[in-house]
Amino acid sequence: MSHTKENIKAVEKCNCTRTKERTDEEYKSLINRLNRIEGQIRGIKGMVEKNAYCIDILTQSSAVSAALSAFNKELLSEHIKTCVANDIRAGNDETIDELLSALQKLMK
């Protein structure tokens, strides 16, 4: 996969101990979503710097929240279909606790 080097750098940067090999399609979809979110955040920063009207900034902030929620849903869905399902089949029930913890964080 063309993104393996980038994955390694990201893992080193976040001190992650576990990794997941993603298909090129899944990788591209997630990165595209994150790039859009990043652009939206830069846009909001620019609005603040230009003293834009509060409601206009809040509208854009709400759009970012929705985009991040959509990213989380996509990532969670793939995680359940792959990582969680594989771990349960292998008898690793600890993954269920990990999933529940992640869901509690997402639902705050």
- Name residues whose C-beta falls within 8 Å of residue 30's C-beta, 6 or more positions apart in sequence: 22, 71, 74, 75
Q: Which of 105, 83, 97 is nearest to 18 (CA)?
A: 83
Residue-wise pLDDT tens digits, 37-75 = 999 999 999 999 999 999 999 999 999 999 999 999 999
What pLDDT is attached to residue 38? Answer: 98
Q: Assign 10 a pLDDT band (cuts: 50, 70, 90).
A: low
Residue-wise pLDDT tens digits, 13-43 = 555 678 999 999 999 999 999 999 999 999 9
Angle between the N-to-C axes of helices 24-49 and 54-79, in degrees from 0 to 180, rounded to the nearest 10: 160
84-101: average pLDDT:
94
DSSP-derived secondary structure for 50-74: TT--HHHHHHHHHHHHHHHHHHHHH
What is 20-106's CATH number, 1.10.10.10, 1.20.58.1000, 3.30.420.40, 3.20.20.70? Answer: 1.20.58.1000
Distance of alpha carbon 9 from alpha carbon 32, whole angstroms: 18
What pLDDT is attached to residue 85? Answer: 95
User: Could you give the dihedral angle defined by the CA atoms of residues 87, 3, 37 and 49, in that order, rounded to the nearest 10 degrees?
Assistant: 140
What pLDDT is attached to residue 18? Answer: 85
Of 82 and 12, the structure prediction assigns the larger pLDDT to 82
Q: Residue 4 pLDDT > 90, yes or no?
A: no
* CA distances from residue 56 to 29, 46, 59, 64 in whole angstroms, order as listed: 28, 12, 5, 13
Q: What does R_g of the chain's alpha carbons equal in angstroms?
A: 17
pTM: 0.79
